[in-house]
Amino acid sequence: MQIRGGATSPAAELARAIYAHTLDEVRGDRLTRRHVSMDGAVLRLGPHRYALDGIGAIRAVAIGKAAVGMARAAGDALGEKLGPGLAVTKLGAGEAVPGVRVLEAAHPAPDASSLAAGMAVAEAVAGSRTGDLTICLLSGGASALAELPVDGVALEDLAHVTMALMRGGAAIDDLNAVRGCLSSLKRGGLARLAAPAQVVCLVLSDVLGNPLGVIGSGPCFGAGARPDAARDALRRHGVWDGCPASVRARLERAPTLSPPVAEARHVIVCDIDTALTAAADAARALGLRPLVVTNRLVGEADEAGRRLGDLARELLDPASRGGYDCLILGGETTVTVRGTGLGGRCQVAAAAAAGVLRGTEGLAVLAAGTDGTDGPTDAAGGLVDGQTALRAEERGLDLEQRLTESDSYHWLQGAGGLIRTGPTHSNVNDLHLVVAALRR
């Protein structure tokens, strides 16, 4: 994976190399091949085995930012045993896959392309019979990419609520609790549409702790949607009073809007821990001494970024760094949007870290999404060092002003701190690296 842009100091180059290796290790196609295979007349899906002579039609539906790679790997493994497949991925990430219809749709807010994709998903599993098998290949981003609003709720209303929650700094749990009540595909909706076929869902998780009802809003997870949880989330984030009337009416109904479904089998093929392990392996191969600090970095992105900067400065002191010169953190922070600028949570964290690193030597901080996109931008995140803030000041860019305006993108762009990858065909939360390239 080629990483373009960002700081170029020795410490930054080490961070860039670690990030590139990690992205290669968490690709959807690579990971799916480890979990889908044929052994004679037996199909293996993770730990589950299926005798092909006992199965009717086999369908595959892939939804998410890793959909293309996952669908390709499944098709390679099953060959002619797999019926026509469908893959729904983010705009700009589509690629031709033999035997698979590939659709691109909007993210993070659904639009007409998401509705078309949702209809295609429903059509792909229509007509399923007892004895058939539906393989759902699920990855992050699925909630917005394929959408079928429930009766009485317009797509525009669903999109409005989605963006209001995001601007209010809502975490993915709250966001998907609301989506699950407003969509026919969420909270077991896909499994209901595929009934009476067996359903196996292979999951590339982008949610900390891997809660099956939250990843992609749980299209194959049997629990019904909970309006009480959705109402609570909307109220806590100050969105309830501004909700469209159709949304409020839907959420004020009975405690459970959708019935549970027969339990689908779920297999987690990758999550943030996979990425953290790959990053640590890459760091060791480069001669560094890494420490995985946490897989649950959460909270406001600017606060997390300043903490990353503080951790980096601690590495300057041999007595405090405990022999480590590379700190690895995974997670997903949030951003409460207060201005009209452009940026994403990783860009905010990187910019805030750059302010703390200002003028230091031998240190770098990387904050980037494993999906290659950070917020509504073309960048994956930021890679900064001690020169980044100084360069921004030379160009008249005020860090605190830009953070207040929610404009980390243009601050990093002017300071040379943005990094770009293009589509990674993965999505397992965000990677944060603190690297010291010091004389030993």
Per residue in 277-315, pLDDT (tens digit) is 999 999 999 999 999 999 999 999 999 999 999 999 999
Lowest mean pLDDT among 108-122, 211-225, 334-348: 211-225
| ∠ CA 59-60-62, rounded to 5° | 155
Bridge partners, residue 173, by sequence: none
What is the mean predicted confidence (pLDDT) over 129-138? 96
Confidence of residue 225 (pLDDT cuts 50, 70, 90): confident
Q: What is the location of CATH 3.40.1480.10 in the chain?
A: 4-23+273-436
Confirm if 211 and 266 have CB atoms less than 8 A apart: no
Q: Is residue 171's pLDDT more than 90? A: no
User: Which residue type is seen at 265?
Assistant: R
Task: Report how far residue 10's alpha carbon sits from residue 163's, in angstroms, rounded to the nearest whole number.
Answer: 39
User: Which of these CATH numbers, 3.40.50.10180, 3.40.50.460, 3.30.390.10, 3.20.20.10, describes 29-272?
Assistant: 3.40.50.10180
Q: What is the location of CATH 3.40.50.10180 in the chain?
A: 29-272
Confidence of residue 1 (pLDDT cuts 50, 70, 90): confident
**4-23+273-436 adopts what CATH topology?**
glycerate kinase, domain 1 (3.40.1480)
The CB density around residue 4, as the number of other CB atoms within 10 Å, is: 12
Q: Please, which residues have CB within 8 angstroms of residue 394's CB and are 6 or more apart in sequence? A: none
What's the pLDDT at 108? Answer: 87
Q: Is residue 260's pLDDT more than 70? A: no
Omega of the bond leading into 98 within 30 degrees of 0 (cis): no
What's the pLDDT at 262? Answer: 66
By three-state DSSP, how is residue 6 classified? coil
Q: Is residue 439's pLDDT more than 70? A: no
Of the candidates 249, 341, 365, the one whose C-alpha atom is nearest the C-alpha of residue 12 is 365
The percentage of the chain sitting over the pLDDT mark of 90, rounded to a whole number, equals 86
Task: Report how far residue 364's alpha carbon sits from residue 337's, in angstroms, rounded to the nearest whole number.
Answer: 26
What's the pLDDT at 316? Answer: 85
What's the pLDDT at 42? Answer: 96
Q: How is residue 105 written in tokens?
A: 């749709």
Confidence of residue 6 (pLDDT cuts 50, 70, 90): very high
CA 393 to the chain's CA centroid = 33
Of the candidates 381, 327, 390, 323, the one whose C-alpha atom is nearest the C-alpha of residue 355 is 390
What's the pLDDT at 169? Answer: 87
Q: How is residue 296 written in tokens?
A: 């649950």
What's the pLDDT at 256? Answer: 59
Omega of the bond leading into 290 within 30 degrees of 0 (cis): no
pTM of the predicted model as reported, rounded to 2 decimal places: 0.92
